[in-house]
Structure 1
Amino acid sequence: MRKNFIASIAFLLASSTAVFAQSAAISDGKVKIGILNDQSGVYADFGGKSSVEAAKMAVEDFGGKVLDMPVEIVDADHQNKPDIASNIARQWYDTEQVDAIMELTTSSVALAVQAIGKEKKKIDIVTGAATTDLTGKACSPYGFHWAYDTHALAVGTGGALVKQGGDSWFFLTADYAFGYSLEQQTTDYVKASGGTVVGSVRHPLSTQDFSSFLLQAQSSGAKVIGLANAGLDTSNAIKQAAEFGITQGGQHLAALLFTLAEVHGLGMEAAQGLTLTEGYYWNRDDQSREFAKKFFARTGKMPNMVHTGTYSAVLQYLKAIQKAGTDETEAVAKQLHEMPVDDVFGRGGTVGPNGRMIHDMYLLQVKKPSESKEPWDYFNVLATIPGKEAYIDPAKSGCDLVK
């Protein structure tokens, strides 16, 4: 009896030690991930609450725990304001034990939060913002850019239209970091391909009346009007361009950041023929359709690249913690840089030393309504753009982390 008692005590001590060791490896006894994005404004459909659901799906598919500790998703609406986002990020990091922040729609917001993460040595993974500065001059050892960026959009949509003869451009540009970056990247690509840019005009975020901007674009005589904006701004510009008869007059609209969510909101009748670039399309193959079916059951919509990219980012973060054996930032960041990405979004993806996740992009064209075979069947896949072509070589990104 004494031997059995001693053996039982030894077993309990060993079990307690193992549990304590795993608990100690996970700060605060759990992993807490914050999804910070626009949930009520111009980009609410682009990411919004659906990105939160995608994050929760990733946690559930991982098993709900990592290193036997629970995983929690929290979320907040930054209202597309860097000051509000910064306050939320600091509160999350300083008092609410949030380990990483993700999604971060709106480039000005993403840049502000990434700077805070760098200061506090916390990981951020951006899936909703586009500026290449995140992995360029503003790069961070703890910052990662996952779903797409302005360079990939310029190579995809801009490159396709120049090849089709759209060699003169005028830009309608959102007046903040994202718009500037998208216009500049596309300008560089158009000029390198032998095209010209005849002018541009900037508009405030959440513009309701595009008439004066569209009239300037129309009078420019440019073959292509590049919409360097996103969300409802792009949808409103397209609707109002139709009222002015711009496309009927022979000019082509280039929606430089337009996703499945915006096409659905605009409707196929108005969107048909538009060329765009995404990092994911739900109806591309069986793996994409399987994920989309689960997502639709939770949200009532099919996912775009921001939603699926958020799923991928959360999943990869949890895999990195598992492999590192801790949620300590330096160890997890090291694994995020080294581990290949292989999931429904980032198939065969790799992460560069500047934090850019390199993966294939897809050049898409909106079908005519008569071509659509089922609800949400909106796109023809025109081409696959290899990741190495879509994204800037890390050595040329301007990131001081790249040696």
Structure 2
Amino acid sequence: MAAWLDVVSDGEGWSLIDTGRLREIVQDMAHPNSQFPFLILFAGNPSRVRALRTLFPRNNVTRKGPGGFVRLHISTVTAQKEQPVMFAETDIFTQNGMGDTVSSRYRFKNLRRFHIPVPDKGASVEEVKRKIIASKILPWTKVICFFVSSSSEMENVQRLLQGSHRSLTVGDQPLPENIHVIIVLTEGDADNPESNAYCSNMKDESFPNQTILDLRHHTGMSELVIFEPLRRLIMDQLYERDSIEQIGQNANFSATHLYTLWNADLQLQENWQKEVDLDCLQIARGNFPENSGLSNCLVEFKKIMDRLRCPDSETHQFIASALLMNAYPPEMHKFPPELVFKSMYEKHCLVAYPTLESTDFTKGVMREFSREFTKLGPHNSSATLRLKISRTVE
């Protein structure tokens, strides 16, 4: 089994074990800088393993090895495609396999241990597992499939869904979130009024894109038939128009950027609190600070351009190209330009002009910033665009 994450007691509470599985998957990709993986989470009772064997027949998801808390695989069929499918699976109802990764029988070259700070040192393992899913897995997940067959399992899933989960942001601007939740019913009495009444109340406002898929009437059929509705539903949600557009809108990360951001977040102890959103832009910029003197620079630049009687359109374009070079250095993820501008530059632009003109000036710069962004490409870096505009203004 391809163990990825594990939970163990460390004497002072709990620790998260990272086996390095995500790193291995990304390193084995043919073009990780230009592949944009989708992550699906399969969680719940053993029916999830039956579904995985059916949906991913070329992956050996049941091979012997350390189980851990969460296993991670990549679909062998899609591994070399532009949009490969990665799938994680976990038993959220029992502790089967937990602690395996630190057994002396298994060796992991890149195994790491992280202490999990929890407000209550007596937190149960169930609470810690929910914390890890909400904090370290859900923010990167496209589709979640919960496999349930009893009221107690449904209550467990509902607690997880109703708990807060972290979001990804660009500065103080949230990235588009489009997580699809599928509640899969595969066992039990489909005509049980109590069970059906509970299912009707499963939807939670935290996850508006939620579907209850009842497969209980398919008992006795082949697994290909049983899980065909689930396969179609997952495919529809992965490759719907909105998902494809999100790649174009830079809401999906390349495999390289996905691992870099996830790994950096894993090492930030203050981000273990799931209520704290993850600022991807701050992590991506690393130690490159925001220019606190930008407002004064814009004021001085305005005086020069006014003296030269330069048209507003040229002023806006000249400023925007400089900001673009600051925002998108080589190999930077192409975060949505409107979010980057609002997070980093809007406040400086608003103080550069008198009150009556500040809004028009800011809108003009943001418009040119977004327009120049669309020109970025393999042969057009932000520095190249800046050079072209500088020569034009001269």
TM over 0.5: no
Q: So what's the TM-score if we normalise by structure 2?
A: 0.28
When normalised by structure 1's length, the TM-score is 0.27
Rg comparison, structure with higher value: 2
